[in-house]
Amino acid sequence: MHAGRAFAITLRHLYLLRSSVSRIVPIFAWVTIDMILWGFITRYLNTLSLSGLSLGTALLAAVVCWGFFGRVMHGVSMAFFEDVWSRNFLNVFIAPLSITEYITGLALSSVFTSLITLFVLLVTSSWLFDLSLLTQGPAMGILLLTLFLFGIALGIAGCALVLRFGPPAEWFIWPIPAVIAPFVGVFYPVSILPDWMRMAGRCLPPSYAFENLRALIVGTEVSILSTLPALELAIIWLILAALLFYGVCRHAMRSGLIARYSAEHIT
């Protein structure tokens, strides 16, 4: 893989961001609104708490982490959709660009946008609601890295879905975070779920990440070793997603399906 060509993909999308306010604002606008809304809801819940567990704080921390995860996934998808919407996807592969370099470029684009989102979420939660997640130690860093890698994996898998079934399939991508949220226990322990949902949740890295998050919020010491299984699972998902995209892309090139992404509209 040539790092320069992968970075060229990233640079293209950064130039698109720079030239359009409508692309920049969604990076932080919606998560900020969610942050403020849920922040005041959790502040109210904290006034009702009679136990040592701050339910509101745990919910607010989950909102921060889940907002970050969603932005990571959509960051990859949006970078891919920019090429689809502009009918530029086929032109990209006219250049001496490998599939691996293209995927890497999309992932790097998401790194930039998701870091902006994470910064806004951390500043807003700390400034308005006195929630400082960065003081939770190395376990918190691994937790965020797990969500980041899994977000990249789902973003790449979503791109493969659109590449296989065509641009109309993009509407299946946006609700993915909402669909998996009940299975991974964002706002509640996975243990309360029915058996079949719990089994599905155990296959998803965020279910472990949010269990560790709740433990950190209540002051329980979380060792780095206990966070590694979720990180390893996220890496497995990332590898599988990359292989899926590679396979779909090769199929699209060999079968001619990739022509639907050309400059001409093909029905």
The alpha carbons of the chain give a radius of gyration, in whole angstroms, of 20
pLDDT of residue 233: 95
Tell me which of 94 and 62 has the higher pLDDT.
Answer: 62
C-alpha dist (Å) from residue 187 to 36, 58, 66, 211: 17, 8, 10, 10
Residue 263 has pLDDT above 60, yes or no: no
Alpha helices (H) in 132-193, listed in sequence order = 138-165, 176-184
Residue 151's closest CA among 213, 246, 78? Answer: 78
pLDDT of residue 261: 61
Residue 22 has pLDDT above 70, yes or no: no
Residue 154 has pLDDT above 90, yes or no: yes
DSSP conformation class of 267: -
- Per-residue pLDDT band for 10 (boundaries 50, 70, 90) equals low
If DSSP states are collapsed to H, E and C, what string results for 224-249? HHHHHHHHHHHHHHHHHHHHHHHHHH
pLDDT tens digit sequence for 229-239? 899 999 999 99
Residue 59's closest CA among 208, 247, 187? Answer: 187
What pTM was estimated for this model as a whole? Answer: 0.79
Distance CA 158, CA 216 (A): 31
Residue 266 has pLDDT above 60, yes or no: no
Q: Which two tokens stand for residue 233?
A: 């699972």
pLDDT tens digit sequence for 181-212? 888 888 888 888 888 888 998 999 999 999 88
